A and B are shown apart, each in its own frame.
Chain A
Amino acid sequence: GQQVMQIPQYQHVQEGEDFTTYCNSSTTLSNIQWYKQRPGGHPVFLIQLVKSGEVKKQKRLTFQFGEAKKNSSLHITATQTTDVGTYFCAVSRYGNKLVFGAGTILRVKS
């Protein structure tokens, strides 16, 4: 089974509203990656978090890794229509195998 729970499964926001997706693990993670998949596209790497409590920003996107390294979040400030897609977290297991969360589908109403 999957090693990470990702919530929510789906979110529909008004353009300009904020959006957050969460990944939670029952075990301590070595690192976590985030990917974005546009509708009809393939997953594209966004970022990797490694350190406890780490916070990284990419323009309107803020990524956090929990202090216990068991959870992570992706927050988008003031969503735009270009943000639509599915956001996945992924964690390493048994070396170089990546296990993906189920993904959060984001839809933005303009």
Chain B
Amino acid sequence: DVKVTQSSRYLVKRTGEKVFLECVQDMDHENMFWYRQDPGLGLRLIYFSYDVKMKEKGDIPEGYSVSREKKERFSLILESASTNQTSMYLCASSLSPGATNEKLFFGSGTQLSVL
């Protein structure tokens, strides 16, 4: 089975801090995604990457950046954390680029609280 691992289950940070959320997948998947999940809003796409060093903005990229230096690792960066970035962050991966019907495999999520 595909394993998508997120480095932290819970994280508490202060306003203005730089925050790194790490995600690693072990199945050589091309695509990786970062979503945030908020009650009543479902999952909203922040950024995704379809190859090493490639990235594309999702629906809500403001305040975030990403890094994909290696195929298996996709990092989400909050340059200066704000309280409205308190949320559950979910990383996901899927097999191949260009396919519109690849299912996503999700990590367990990181609950980030910004105080």
Measured CB to CB, the residues of A under 8 A from B are 1-2, 6, 9, 30-31, 33, 35, 41-45, 48, 50, 88, 90, 92, 95-103
Supposing A42-B106, A42-B109, A92-B100 touch, asked if A9 and B42 sit within 8 A by C-beta, the answer is no
Complex CA distance for A35 and B106, rounded to whole angstroms: 11
Instruction: List residues of B whose CB falls within 8 A of some A CB.
Output: 31, 33, 35, 40-45, 48, 50, 56, 58-59, 90, 94, 97-109
> A102's contact among B42, B48, B100, B105, by CB below 8 Å, is which?
B42
Q: Contact: B106 with A96, CB < 8 Å?
A: no
Asked whether B107 lies within 8 Å of A96 as measured between CB atoms, the reply is no
Chain B residues whose CB sits within 8 angstroms of the CB of A97 once the complex forms: 45, 48, 56, 58
Contact among A2, A44, A48 with B101 in the assembled complex (CB-CB below 8 Å): A48
CA A48 to CA B103, docked complex, whole Å? 8
Within 8 Å CB of A30, what residues of B?
100-101
Which residues of chain A have C-beta atoms less than 8 A from B104's C-beta? 35, 43, 45, 90, 98
Closest to B58 in A: A97
Which of B43, B58, B90 counts the most A-chain CB atoms under 10 A from its CB?
B43
Question: What B residues does A45 contact at CB under 8 A?
Answer: 103-105
